Structure 1
Amino acid sequence: MSSTAAYDQIADWYEKEFLSGPGAGTAAGNPRNLGRLLGDLLGAGSGTCLEIGCGTGVHAAQVRDLGWTPVGVDLSSGMLCHARDRLPIAQADASRLPIRDSSVPAAIAVMVHTDMPSYPAALHEVARVLRPGGVFVHIGVHPCFCGGFVDRGDLNAVVVRPGYLDGNWTKRSWTNQGVRDKVGATHLPLSSLLHAFLNAGLTLEQFAEHGAPTPVVMAVKARKAT
């Protein structure tokens, strides 16, 4: 279920069509359709902000505007080819970050947790590399209203079918215009996702949802204990 080769194969499509094509700014699940979430939860700051799974680096400008210095890591060399002009990058596995313990003041993961076979392991790495008191912002597809078990063909009547509790990897999708049908996605039920933060030693501080009338995105702000 490694996402590396899969994202290498779709990197150009992702950059040129999924992110920038007609309607991309408003399409459900598009990582540019996040409203004020990142700015509100991360907030202004200084120093390094590590982006886990930075992909093509589309969030670097906003992170920089908040005063942070963005640095990105991603498994996919194809995606990083598009990111290299946007922020400093390194090719790395989120569950084995090439970063010293307690060395960064902030980290983010934006619309990537379903691409990782073991997001809980990535959260443990986030907790390891954050300084005491450091902030982590997770923004991802909503575990309750997105996944292979959901049909979002009619946003006024989203259908949640059996499968929510299974936590499976799947390529099943209600649309062929997104990412899941091309590279697949993992799923963590809400309780499993939140417990993964706690098990990593992160303190939950704030939550937010985005998208209407049924949220497509859920965000979490957490912090490493001082």
Structure 2
Amino acid sequence: MKPWYETSFGNDYMLVYKHRDMEAARKEIERMITLLGLPQGAKVLDIGCGMGRHSVALSDLGFAVTGVDLSDDLLEEARRHDAYGEVEWIHGDMRELPFEDGSFDATVNLFTSFGYFARESDNVGVLRNIRRVLRPGGLCLIDFLNPNYVAEHLVPHSVREDEEEGVRIDEVRTIDGDWVKKEITITELVVKEGKDAKRQYMERVRLYELDWFREHFASSGLELIGVYGNYDGTPYREADSNRLVMIGRAI
């Protein structure tokens, strides 16, 4: 059986998250990029770029952007968003980034695109790959969930109908040890030819605390220089910040 991240990031993923639009991505990027303080033209790698919303927003702000993702379906959608063909789109695994050492001035990893892997060494390996592709002094930004906020605000079950797409989306969320899991069931309201009446997916992410990142940034050659609770630079508070946004510098 394939791991969840090889099966869940397809056309149905785009349906589930279609409410996350380009305008929201631009606002998020404008806030986050201020934290990095990068000069115009800096080479930026978007790791786990998905549908490309943030990569295109970065490009529009004047950065030389490369987006890498494991999903061919999402990369195809990303190319559609990139009207002027300014972004370089690459198929690749974040554990083995297909770039030369020191290729980038900065990397970004957004929308909780971290902590996917069952093996601890694989998640640590992502950080080591980030360090490898950064030039000395280069910066990385990881936008992650705050485990405490997730535990406090988890919505166990939600259902919504998308009349335009003709589907019902049923999401069940649980915390299982040090994982947060989401089971997604998509049901066709009217069964279409060539489509299963019901399709199910799983998403799961490790509930890593800030201390875990402190330890493994350091062991990977990254200095943790900033920790924020949101995209606007609000200080991180373990008890109630809704995000864990971290900036590291390549040593």
Using structure 2 for the length normalisation, give the TM-score: 0.68
What is aligned with 2:50? 55
What is aligned with 2:102? 102
Deviation at 1:217, TM superposition (A): 1.4
What is aligned with 1:184? 203
Show the 5 A alignment for 1:208-219. 208-210=228-230, 214-219=240-245
The answer as to whether partners of 1:145 and 1:215 remain within 8 angstroms in 2 is yes
Match of 1:119 among 118, 123, 145: 123
What is aligned with 1:40? 34
Q: Measured at CA, do residues 136 and 18 of structure 1 come closer, stay the same or move farther in structure 2, by a change above 3 Å?
A: same
The answer as to whether partners of 1:198 and 1:204 remain within 8 angstroms in 2 is yes
Matching of residue 202 in structure 1 with residue 222 in structure 2: yes
Matching of residue 18 in structure 1 with residue 29 in structure 2: no
Deviation at 1:194, TM superposition (A): 2.7
Matching of residue 90 in structure 1 with residue 116 in structure 2: no
Deviation at 1:168, TM superposition (A): 2.9
Single out whichever of 182-191 and 121-130 deviates more from structure 2.
Answer: 182-191
Deviation at 1:195, TM superposition (A): 1.8
Instruction: Map Cα deviations across residues 20-75 of structure 1 (whole Å, 9 max, x no partner).
Output: 49xx95xxxxx677475412222232232001000011112332244311101001
Deviation at 1:182, TM superposition (A): 4.4
How large is the Cα RMSD of the aligned pairs?
Answer: 3.3
The higher relative CO (CA closer than 8 Å, separation ≥ 6) is in: 1
The answer as to whether partners of 1:108 and 1:138 remain within 8 angstroms in 2 is yes
Ranges in structure 1 where 5+ consecutive residues have no aligned partner: 26-30, 154-161
Tell me the percent identity.
Answer: 22
Q: Measured at CA, do residues 10 and 194 of structure 1 come closer, stay the same or move farther in structure 2, by a change above 3 Å?
A: farther
Alpha-carbon separation, structure 1, partners of 2:26 and 2:214: 24
Instruction: Map Cα deviations across residues 158-187 of structure 1 (whole Å, 9 max, x no partner).
Output: xxxx969x42363369xx9xxxx9431221
Q: Which has the higher strand share?
A: 2
What is aligned with 1:4? 6
Q: Measured at CA, do residues 104 and 139 of structure 1 come closer, stay the same or move farther in structure 2, by a change above 3 Å?
A: same
Ranges in structure 2 where 5+ consecutive residues have no aligned partner: 156-173, 187-199
What is aligned with 2:59? 64
Q: Measured at CA, do residues 74 and 35 of structure 1 come closer, stay the same or move farther in structure 2, by a change above 3 Å?
A: closer
Helix, strand or coil for the counterpart of 1:95? helix
The answer as to whether partners of 1:43 and 1:66 remain within 8 angstroms in 2 is no
The answer as to whether partners of 1:103 and 1:131 remain within 8 angstroms in 2 is yes
Alpha-carbon separation, structure 2, partners of 1:35 and 1:107: 13
Deviation at 1:10, TM superposition (A): 2.3
Larger radius of gyration: 2
Q: Measured at CA, do residues 60 and 128 of structure 1 come closer, stay the same or move farther in structure 2, by a change above 3 Å?
A: same
Matching of residue 131 in structure 1 with residue 135 in structure 2: yes
The answer as to whether partners of 1:143 and 1:190 remain within 8 angstroms in 2 is no
Alpha-carbon separation, structure 1, partners of 2:7 and 2:50: 13
